Structure 1
Amino acid sequence: MKAMPAAPAAVSNGKPTEPHKSWKKVNEERKALKRERKQEKLLKQMNQTKESEANADAAASAAQARMNKPNPSTLSIAVPGSILENAQSAELRAYVAGQIARAACIFRVNEVIVFDDVGVATARETKRSYEQDAEGNATGTVRSSSLQLARILQYLECPQYLRKYFFPLHKDLKYSGLLNPLDTPHHLRQQSKFRYREGVISDKKAKDGQSYANVGLLNDVLVDKAIEPGVRVTVKMDPASDTSRKQRGTLVSPDEPRRETGVYWGYQVRIAHSLSEIFTKSPYESSYDVTLGTSDRGTNVHEVPNRSIQYKHLLIVFGGLQGLEEALANDDKLTVDDPEMLFDHYVNVLPRQGSRTIRTEEALLIALASLQEKLQPELADVETDLSDLLPRSEDTGIPMGRDALISKKQKKRKLVEAPDETVADEPAPKEAAPSPKKIVPAPKAAPPTPARLSANPFGDPSATKTSLEDDFEVVSTTTAGPASTRKTNASDSGDDLSRFD
């Protein structure tokens, strides 16, 4: 039996068309296409997941590497809070604290310890509570002078745009607005584009696992962790994104800016109730490996070899009004009699001093300056040039115009010299009206010659007239002021040299 030939395809408008498909076949093709698209979507999601995991692993490894990277060596100083009791007024108490904060920042101090060197038995000031437990009950007290010193140090270290969040109105900070600003690198301006910034978590609502932080910019920054509002944080700014207007950042440790960039990032403040607590409550795991005490009974600092004091965590302790001996006598937990036994080095930072006493704020500057060449940190800060990203010294303060820099004395001199330098023209003919006097500007004085410098104008009157008439203004007795101020030993012309501008 012969097979029947296939039916020819239908022709429409001169073009062949596909044969008619059943709905069953169409549904099968649609399901196959849907399965294919679903597989492609799953593959794409798997690739994205792998990429995100790889990025997360890389970020975690980088973060772990940063965490494993040792921090640079630190410098800590301990000052007694009783030094404020020697100030004569509340303004001077605040100024002494400001001097200590300035010295700590100038010499890159990482920790400032305020300790009580008087003790409870001989305390002349009242004690105030400064620690609270979870229920709000006070758990510790400290002398009011120590507490005020610590509070002012913390206030000055905090960036200006964060102070209103952490420091409400308080009598200890009454005169803190008069103190000199520290102007440290972490006190960034709004236009600065540094990768790290200090901030505070705001109460603005964000997605789960995120929060907003105020870092001194126009808008808050979205950070990668959910933290309760009011906490001070250090934020690493992410690069600006073209697809999103929100500025994002990552929360990092306060030590990371100094560890990664070498920039000085302020100091921490700690309160110690006695001299012994300076050593026993160190924030570092290995405590202080090198301790140094300052006293006029110590070793001459000039006899200490350069780079001989190698340290990882160095502590320098300063005494109060009666020195470290008084602080040791008021500490019941220490049994030694000589403070030199407490330290690895006991140094006199200024031998042959002219004054009988050196104030603690002065000793701080002297000691840190004289010990600069004696110290050798085990791990120094990273040296990086960040002058284009951080504010410089010329950016500090308000720029003044050239006219504002002219002193009042110079302006007064111009007003006084102008009438004396008036030159009258020759008399005009009778037919013409008299011409007004012309004021001729004073010519610049020629540079003095050696002969003029060697002459003694006060010994020879003739030398006075010839050598000083260009440099000094000769004022007539008739216009020099009241009669009581015009007495002179005089020359024939009646002029005196009692007024030199």
Structure 2
Amino acid sequence: MDVETKDSPSRNNTEKDLVILHVKKEIGVSTKTLKRDQFIAREMGKKNKRRDEDAESPQLNPNDGNGDDSDNAKKLKKKKKKNKKNEKPKERATVSIAVPASIIDNVPTLDLATRLAGQIARAATIFCIDEVVVFDNNGEPNRDPVMENSDDESGAAFLIRILRYLETPQYLRKALFPMHNSLRFVGLLPPLDPPHHLRKHEWGPYREGVTINGNSNSTGTLVDVGLAKHVVVDQLLEPGRRVTVAMGAERNLDSDLPRQVVSSSKPREEGEYWGYQVRYARNISSVFKDCMHKGGYDYIIGTSEHGQIIKSHELEIPSFRHLLIAFGGLAGLEESIEEDDNLKGKNAGDAFNVYLNTCPHQGSRTIRTEEAILISLQYFQEPISRALQTRSTATVASTSVFLCFQLILQTVAAMLQDRMNTFEFVFVQNFSCFMVVLIFFVSSCFVYELNKFVSVTFFFCVNKFVFYFIENLIYDSCRALCKE
């Protein structure tokens, strides 16, 4: 619809301001005050112009039959999707474990092998492990053992199948896992019960689901999320695919609005444990090289009875992004390294950042792998928590210092643009921010060892400071001088 345009009062006010500026120029007002008033009038004029344009533009009404409005709505929707794609996910530290497939080959019966796999799955869930890597000693390259789908499958394929089955919510298993001989005894295993295994009566901001046949319309897909009613998502997806659906904070299944499919890492970014992922590696070196995370593992720990003996409270793990803890089979990690062509001639300790004995003075001659996993993950719990806390504290410190420098640079830019009237206010802000950062830094040095805290903080600060200093102080300052 057409909207009649009238001169708004704000536009008249802008004209009055310009008249006042002309009078001030005639009576000889100082150049500094004149520049300030000119700047204020110019900014107010821009603001009022935008306000008038918004008032003159027709409102979009999705219920009318206007084709232009629908096109504008589609453009806005595309723009929102583009902005969401450009959003970078928050970086979150992860912990992975590597388990040898040979532990299954030494079990005599299928039910005992199933119980063994269930113990590993329970341990990974209890200690919030993000990834379980199952490795062979010398497997075939470019081969996924689970895809072979034979009744008499290898130990690696069996272990991967059971781990994935147990991690999947119960209401999705029938659709995602066809009947298989290896799954005969999974009913004997206790449930993992992680946060994403929601009951039918429970509601959460996210739910795991599987796409099903029977699209509700041409722009959406039906998804079974384990509730009394299927939900519709805003994407066209093939049936039988597992997805994570954003359900919203309030329980509402009667809404016709489509839900959104999000990445499985989204709940993890919000601090929720969302199960583990399972990966196959053909040997121990492939565990390191084929890491699913960009940049690989930045800290790798090996466990063995021949490793160093360090008490848990004395062990110091540096700040990490992706941590890997490797466990050996019947003959330990030493055998896996000896049989790996890429690591031949290396000592077991040289393949890891640290090689530890997490259970010294053992009464039994051997500790089974499933027992070692429970013992070791409990042993590493306190050092990992300290490393993550140091990382978080250093990030906060670097951000605080960065904001302090940002305010200082803004003050310099204001001075160069001859807006000295704002200098005192911004100076007070900078000084108070600097004192807060200084107090925070000193108190943090008392909590953590000085050298480690400083090194981690410096690592986070250096990239931000250098580029921001060059871009804002030099470029913006020169541009302000040219304008003058």
Give TM-score, length-normalised by structure 2: 0.62
Contact persistence 1:78–1:318 (CA under 8 A)? yes
Distance 1:287 1:358, change over 3 A: same
Q: Are 1:345 and 2:360 matched, yes or no?
A: no
The amino acid of 1:308's aligned partner reads I
Supply the distance in 2 between the matched residues of 1:193 and 1:241 (Cα, whole angstroms): 6
Supply the distance in 1 between the matched residues of 2:77 and 2:266 (Cα, whole angstroms): 21
SS in 2 for 1:229: coil
Contact persistence 1:295–1:324 (CA under 8 A)? yes
Cα distance, 1:374 vs. partner?
1.3
Match of 1:253 in 2: 263
Q: Are 1:289 and 2:298 matched, yes or no?
A: yes
The amino acid of 1:344's aligned partner reads N
Superposition pairs for residues 54-133 of structure 1, below 5 Å?
57=79, 60-61=82-83, 63-64=84-85, 67-117=87-137, 130=145
Cα distance, 1:190 vs. partner?
1.2
- What do residues 95-144 of structure 1 show as CA deviations (whole Å, max 9, x unaligned)? 01000000000000000000113668xxxxxxx97376xxxxx799x971
Match of 1:314 in 2: 323
Contact persistence 1:312–1:379 (CA under 8 A)? no
Distance 1:327 1:203, change over 3 A: same
The amino acid of 2:246's aligned partner reads K
Distance 1:294 1:52, change over 3 A: same
Q: Are 1:228 and 2:238 matched, yes or no?
A: yes
Cα distance, 1:305 vs. partner?
3.0
SS in 2 for 1:248: coil
Cα distance, 1:56 vs. partner?
5.8
Supply the distance in 1 between the matched residues of 2:149 and 2:319 (Cα, whole angstroms): 38
Superposition pairs for residues 97-176 of structure 1, below 5 Å?
97-117=117-137, 130=145, 144-176=154-186
SS in 2 for 1:114: strand
Distance 1:257 1:109, change over 3 A: same
Supply the distance in 2 between the matched residues of 1:157 and 1:131 (Cα, whole angstroms): 16
Supply the distance in 1 between the matched residues of 2:99 and 2:252 (Cα, whole angstroms): 50
Cα distance, 1:168 vs. partner?
1.2
Structure with the greater alpha carbon radius of gyration? 1
Supply the distance in 2 between the matched residues of 1:219 and 1:335 (Cα, whole angstroms): 57
Cα distance, 1:80 vs. partner?
0.5
- What do residues 33-88 of structure 1 show as CA deviations (whole Å, max 9, x unaligned)? xxxxxx98999856776677557645654x357x4132310010000111112223
The amino acid of 2:111's aligned partner reads E
The amino acid of 2:244's aligned partner reads T
Distance 1:110 1:129, change over 3 A: closer
Q: Are 1:219 and 2:229 matched, yes or no?
A: yes
Distance 1:83 1:341, change over 3 A: same
Distance 1:50 1:91, change over 3 A: same
Cα distance, 1:309 vs. partner?
3.1
Equivalenced residues, count = 327
Supply the distance in 1 between the matched residues of 2:224 and 2:253 (Cα, whole angstroms): 22
Match of 1:408 in 2: none
Match of 2:415 in 1: none
Match of 2:48 in 1: none
SS in 2 for 1:217: coil
Contact persistence 1:119–1:331 (CA under 8 A)? no
Distance 1:357 1:55, change over 3 A: same
Distance 1:330 1:57, change over 3 A: same
Supply the distance in 2 between the matched residues of 1:317 and 1:221 (Cα, whole angstroms): 41
Supply the distance in 1 between the matched residues of 2:283 and 2:308 (Cα, whole angstroms): 25
Percent identical among aligned pairs is 41
Distance 1:379 1:308, change over 3 A: closer
Contact persistence 1:117–1:274 (CA under 8 A)? yes
Contact persistence 1:85–1:145 (CA under 8 A)? yes
Distance 1:303 1:251, change over 3 A: closer
SS in 1 for 2:303: strand
SS in 2 for 1:294: strand
Distance 1:107 1:286, change over 3 A: same
Instruction: Please say which of residues 202-211 and 366-375 is displaced more in the overlay.
Output: 202-211
Supply the distance in 2 between the matched residues of 1:108 and 1:307 (Cα, whole angstroms): 20
SS in 1 for 2:278: strand
SS in 2 for 1:190: coil
Superposition pairs for residues 16-55 of structure 1, below 5 Å?
none
Supply the distance in 2 between the matched residues of 1:379 and 1:185 (Cα, whole angstroms): 25
Contact persistence 1:206–1:212 (CA under 8 A)? yes
Cα distance, 1:206 vs. partner?
2.6
Contact persistence 1:76–1:112 (CA under 8 A)? yes
Cα distance, 1:329 vs. partner?
1.5
SS in 2 for 1:156: helix
Would you tell me which structure has more helix in proportion to its own residues? 2
Distance 1:202 1:339, change over 3 A: same
Structure 1, gaps ≥5 residues long: 1-38, 121-127, 133-137, 382-501
Q: Are 1:197 and 2:221 matched, yes or no?
A: no
SS in 2 for 1:164: helix
Contact persistence 2:96–2:131 (CA under 8 A)? yes
- What do residues 361-380 of structure 1 show as CA deviations (whole Å, max 9, x unaligned)? 01001111011111213766
Distance 1:51 1:114, change over 3 A: same
- What do residues 339-358 of structure 1 show as CA deviations (whole Å, max 9, x unaligned)? 11110011110111111111
Contact persistence 1:238–1:247 (CA under 8 A)? no
Supply the distance in 2 between the matched residues of 1:212 and 1:370 (Cα, whole angstroms): 45
Distance 1:229 1:331, change over 3 A: same
Supply the distance in 2 between the matched residues of 1:245 and 1:269 (Cα, whole angstroms): 35
Q: Are 1:358 and 2:367 matched, yes or no?
A: yes
Match of 1:469 in 2: none
